[in-house]
Chain A
Amino acid sequence: MNVAVAKTGNGRAVSDLFASAEGRLPGSPSGIAVRREAFETYERLGLPHRRIEEWKYTDLRALVGEVLPLAAAPDAAALKRAAEAVKAHAIAGARKLVLVDGVFAADLSDVKALAAEAGFRTLRETLEKDAGLLKTAATDAVIALNAAMATDGVVLDIADGAQLSAPIQIIHIATVASASAFTRSQVAIGKGARATIIESFVAAGAKAYQVNDAVLLSVGDNSDVAHIRLMDDAPDALNVTSHFVTIGANVKFNFFNMTTGAAVSRLQGFITLAGEGSELSANGVNLLQNTEHGDTTLVVDHAVPNCVSREVFRAVIDDRAHSVFQGRIIVRPDAQKTDGKMMIRALLLSDEAEADNKPELEIFADDVSCGHGATAGALDDSLLFYLKARGLPEKQAQALLIQAFVGEAIEQIADDDLREHVIGIAERWLERRQ
């Protein structure tokens, strides 16, 4: 398998990536034209690097260097491994939609059960008729690359008034080493609906793979939506994910992200509050060890008046890991009475751990209440000693304090079972460092 190198000026190698994948990319002729254009954008920009402001702390050229060729469509053996991973990571009661190496796996998914409550198609099916889903504001190279290369994804339609009786869990599974998967999904939620969407990223034995995912999510007026993303990819994987979220009026939207895997990861979320009276709660936890690099970048755009946004972000950084949190709150000129708060805290567990916290406010309205705070520090020695004096070994004492530290973000998850599930993932991460 030849590896295509995506560096500036190396047009030929980059083009190979697209040329060799083209036969596998779904879409009508007009869709392929959209892909070509997106690919040209990507070629022109190359992988993001530190001189691009938004990517200053996550220099993909230095950290990753190359985009791996597309993973082959999963064969029976791959699907069998994926089935095991589904068992291990499925959330009890949730309706599963499984993507294996970037391809929807119907046999591992609960399509029938879901059909009663939500409209569902694959991205592949959707693209046969309409290339619209490939169109996103692609000034960002990884998003353009996603549009060019996306092989599959889920397209969910949750009707006005729908009250989903169970969460929907989209599970991304990697089974192929040294290859990449590109997925793109759309979740359209109508008015007055209630839904919980969970996304999980896991490996089924695969190593050193790359994931590039994009999610387009819209929420209609008066809906109540929880969106939870749990990224636990293999420790040597790459995961770059882009979220585009548009929120209507009087909506309660609760987003939570947890990063416990991947050598290099970036979640970039672009959340627009487009209707008045909505409440956004966006929270995240990065748990990083070894030389992992985890970047969460959230842009919350208050486009209209009278919305509330709350962001609580916690990073726990061990060894020589590096956490990045960039949170920007934009308040447009019309968005009076905006109430936006963001709190970022990083816990450094080693002298070589690194945290870059960059909260930013861009306020163009005058009658608003916005604020942010960012701190970074080590575990409190006096608390550690108290716990040790009561019999807890060092690592166990640390674990208890770390759980308390991330608990402030995790407790924002309203559903008890889901919260317990997330706490379980954090506990397993803590066990890895015992």
Chain B
Amino acid sequence: MPLLEVKDLKVRVEEREILHGLTLTVNEGEIHAIMGPNGSGKSTLSHVIAGKPGYEVTDGQILFKGEDLLAMAPNERAAKGVFLAFQYPVEIPGVATMNFLRTALNAQRKARGESEYSTPDFLKKVREVSKSLNIPQDMLKRGVNVGFSGGEKKRNEVLQMALFEPSLCILDEMDSGLDIDALRIAADGVNALHSPKRAMVVITHYQRLLNYIVPDIVHVMSKGRVVKSGGKELALELEASGYAQFEDAA
């Protein structure tokens, strides 16, 4: 059974159709890249998978491990193993990062009927992961993402990914606003998490990120549809010739 099946998905925002019948299948262990110009609907797709309100699904379905994802609340999707690393992670003043991480992790475990992490186990785990991602401990004491640089925000997303151990990671424009060093740290973190049981969907505008996270399958999105899929060489082709050739196909 595929991990994720998006079938002929049509989505409207404020009466306007943004996704016009999008189909995408992701299996366990695969790394997919979704590429497309600005406004092609990449973030919309990721938001609908994560359950963000404000989107109206008018047709199609999304199955996750065979279950109807659209019938679940966002927190249920998270507990089932869906993780979206946001393009723009929000700042949450007054909620200490450490408290947030623990509350979220335990909420997911509780939803799955698992026991809560003990404090020492939790701290040990956070320390390990944050160290590998070059996240200083004092950052974890601050409010979630408050005063974090762009790179720190993205690393904080990867930290959560490592802690929550989802089976599907969707990374929305992880490279936006990052310099090469920051990008490398974040990408290394993502690669370290890749496993035969865990799939990654890397959404990006540029080919650059795919030098660090190498995809098995590349999809080209244009105007709310997947217009072409292929191997990693498709990304290079795009880099050379641009998206224009696909605009007409859409």
Contacts and interface: CB of A to CB of B under 8 A. Distances in A.
Our verdict on whether A and B bind, yes or no, reads yes
Interface of B: 50-53, 73-75, 77-79, 84, 86, 89-90, 92-95, 99-100, 103-105, 107-108, 111, 143, 160, 164
Contacts of A392: 75, 103-104, 107
Interface string A394-407: 10110011011101
The residue in A383, A385, A390 that gathers the most chain B C-beta atoms within 10 A of its C-beta is: A390
A42 to B, nearest CB: 44
Interface of A: 380-383, 385-394, 396-397, 400-401, 403-405, 407-408
A386 B103 CA distance: 13
A407 B50 contact: no
The residue in A385, A388, A400, A401 that gathers the most chain B C-beta atoms within 10 A of its C-beta is: A388
B92 A394 contact: no
A391 B94 contact: no
The residue in B50, B92, B160 that gathers the most chain A C-beta atoms within 10 A of its C-beta is: B92
A219 B86 CA distance: 53
12 contacts: A388-B74, A389-B84, A390-B75, A390-B104, A391-B108, A392-B103, A393-B73, A394-B73, A396-B107, A397-B75, A404-B94, A404-B143
Give chain B's interface secondary structure class.
helix
A406 to B, nearest CB: 9
B53 A381 contact: yes
A367 B75 CA distance: 54
Contacts of B99: 400
A388 B51 contact: yes
Given A382-B90, A386-B89, A408-B94, A393 B78 contact: no
A407 B107 contact: no
Contacts of A383: 90, 92
A280 to B, nearest CB: 24
Contacts of B107: 390-393, 396
A401 B92 contact: yes
B75 A391 contact: yes
Contacts of B51: 388-389
Contact of A404 (B86, B93, B111): B93
Contacts of A385: 52-53, 74
B113 to A, nearest CB: 14
Contacts of B92: 383, 386-387, 401, 404
Contacts of B103: 392, 396, 400
